[in-house]
Structure 1
Amino acid sequence: MKVTRYTKADAEQWDAFVRASKNGTFLLQRAYMDYHSDRFADHSLIFHDDKGHPVALLPANERDGVLQSHGGLTYGGIICDESMTTPRMLEVFDVLLEHLRTNGLNRLLYKTIPYIYHLNPAEEDRYALFRADARLYRRDVLSVICQDRRLPFQKRRARKVSQAQKLGLVIEASEDLEAFWAILEANLAAVHGVRPVHSVEEMRLLNSRFPDQIRLHVCKENGGIVAGVVVFNATRVAHVQYISSSERGREIGALDLLFATLIERDYADQAYFDFGISNEQEGKVMNVGLIEQKEGFGARAVTHDYYELSVV
């Protein structure tokens, strides 16, 4: 087995492998990964068998002597297809670690792909990390609804949904990212003093590249947006990327009605509905109020693990 660095000439082969993989999603295709290529020094890797066929990919970037799997993505460890076996994954990691040594990289930061995104079991990398004495340094908790075993809404959430239904609110898909971003940016600045990870221009670009996977859903009152959710619809998982509500929306339970509609109607056929994380500081601090809201819709915990491996 050998490994080569990704180049733009490999884009078509890379994307074809991701589409045929057992754990890849559209976020791991180059049209998504490369939108912020100016911010990351790409060091993605392609692993080949003895006949030169690709057997695995690692989306990654290099920073200060560290290889990150990839710092600009929500998830993204080793991408593989159904031919991947545990012994072969151990070979992949042997080749990976040798590549790091050869290229003067002294550390690997590795984020796994949560199992809910797997079409078939794909945790061979976790075993390889264990064998290599990797250290678990971060654990996020995702709040996830299993759609075919959906739990009932908490009474408080159900009551808020019922109240909002009586107000004649409209739930629909929207292309008005600018109006929603104004609400989102104001809320993030007021509560956390930060801006969204994506600018509205970046989200517009990504939406144009993946119109079927990235969608804004809004709740409207009298034609105006009072709440919205950006959903990344990836293979089996509808993942909530951004959530925000105006002051009026909070008063009338607009998000409760919006989430109920997405869960029970728009994404009912997906295997999972993922609200995302409610923790900070690498998983060590929990926003209890936020996770209680998500779990009020019947979501339960799925962990997302991050590992560190020193190369000697």
Structure 2
Amino acid sequence: MDIKVQKYHPSIETEWNQFIKTSVAGTFLFHRDFMDYHKERFEDHSLMFYKENQLICCMPAHIKSQVFYSHRGLSYGGWILSEIGTENMHLLMEVFLEYIKDAIFSVSGSLIVKAEVQLPPLSYHKLHQEMAHIFKEKGFRVNRILDNLFVKLDQKYRVSSKKTRGYRNGKFAGLKIERSNDFKRFWEQVLVPQLRARYASQPVHSLDEIELLASKFPENIVQHNLYREDQLLAGITFFIKNDIVKSQYTASSSLGLKINAVGYLYMEAMKEFQEKGFLLMDYGSVNEPDGSVNKGLLRFKKELGCEKEEWKRWEIEF
């Protein structure tokens, strides 16, 4: 085979980062400054694939308990490809499986019994559909399906009259959106208290972590906070991924819930990002930790014009 694979090493960080910038569907999530902010939690085993000494594919990954994961510190992973890489996808799979089964032991000292890959949502790019087809063809099976919601901003979308009622009845009067990289007030006054009270949980990123990441990627991580006078009613933390915008964190105060503050923020954001030329807004999944669907959340997002897709995680055992 004329494709070679090697394990990532920090000494070639610059090569990795430069490739991500020019790849077909790579985003700031795969930049090593984003991946490595919590590197002590993972045994990194990211891969780099070369054809005739030219880097054509990167794969963020780590190993835990004899399982090879596309990096679980990220929302998704899989192959990050160059244009040349897309021409070699079937061969990449053969090289990948051979490496996992035969070569990884000599590199890591671990005998791998399973590989698990969380591909990006299919709505992100047409090549992810081809990836999924190849994974299925090579014996991978689906071990989890999430219900992901999104709006195509390059098309006309329809918002329910229930959501736009606040424009007509005055509930949205006097609302002001602040767009900034100031996350402290939202985290401390709304997000953390609401997650603790309603779900007994906490954000994946602490305030210190989101501030660190936003300082490194100020154009990619932005905060929209909603106020009436000086009272914070709701906020959304957006991750900007090229021509896709993802709502990463969303929360509302008890008063904000009464006036559909989050719905207002979403509707205004869709108009803003559409005007800026973004193609898609990803609203995230509507699944509970046990995999069941939160019907109220599903209804809320569909009323905002969202479509639903299956977001699959694949695995293969050796």
Say if 2:144 is the partner of 1:138. yes
- CA deviation after TM superposition for structure 1 residue 122, in Å: 4.4
Residue matched to 1:168: 174
1:118-139 Cα deviation digits (max 9, x unpaired): 3x63444223211221111111
- CA deviation after TM superposition for structure 1 residue 234, in Å: 0.5
Do the aligned residues in 1 keep the contact of 2:143 with 2:313 (CA within 8 Å)?
A: yes
- CA deviation after TM superposition for structure 1 residue 114, in Å: 2.0
Residue matched to 1:53: 54
Say if 2:234 is the partner of 1:227. yes
Distance 1:223 1:273, change over 3 A: same
Say if 2:279 is the partner of 1:278. no
Residue matched to 1:206: 213
Percent identity at matched positions? 30
2:295 to 288, 293, 296: 288
The gaps in structure 1 that reach 5 residues or longer are none
Query: Matched residues in 2 for 1:22 and 1:245: separation?
Result: 36
Residue matched to 2:81: 80
1:247 to 245, 254, 273: 254
Query: Matched residues in 2 for 1:52 and 1:162: separation?
Result: 61
* 3-state DSSP of counterpart to 2:235: strand
- CA deviation after TM superposition for structure 1 residue 267, in Å: 4.6
Residue matched to 1:11: 13
The gaps in structure 2 that reach 5 residues or longer are 106-110
**TM superposition score normalised by structure 2:** 0.92
* 3-state DSSP of counterpart to 2:151: strand
Do the aligned residues in 1 keep the contact of 2:238 with 2:249 (CA within 8 Å)?
A: yes
Do the aligned residues in 1 keep the contact of 2:214 with 2:221 (CA within 8 Å)?
A: yes
Residue matched to 1:186: 193
Distance 1:115 1:231, change over 3 A: same
Query: Matched residues in 2 for 1:133 and 1:164: separation?
Result: 56
Say if 2:35 is the partner of 1:33. yes
Distance 1:137 1:164, change over 3 A: farther
- CA deviation after TM superposition for structure 1 residue 253, in Å: 2.2
Query: Matched residues in 2 for 1:30 and 1:97: separation?
Result: 24
Say if 2:123 is the partner of 1:116. yes
Say if 2:223 is the partner of 1:216. yes
Query: Matched residues in 2 for 1:169 and 1:85: separation?
Result: 47
Residue matched to 1:150: 156
**TM superposition score normalised by structure 1:** 0.93
Query: Matched residues in 1 for 2:286 and 2:13: separation?
Result: 34
Alignment: residue pair count: 307
Query: Matched residues in 2 for 1:5 and 1:28: separation?
Result: 15
1:100-127 Cα deviation digits (max 9, x unpaired): 2232211101011223333x63444223
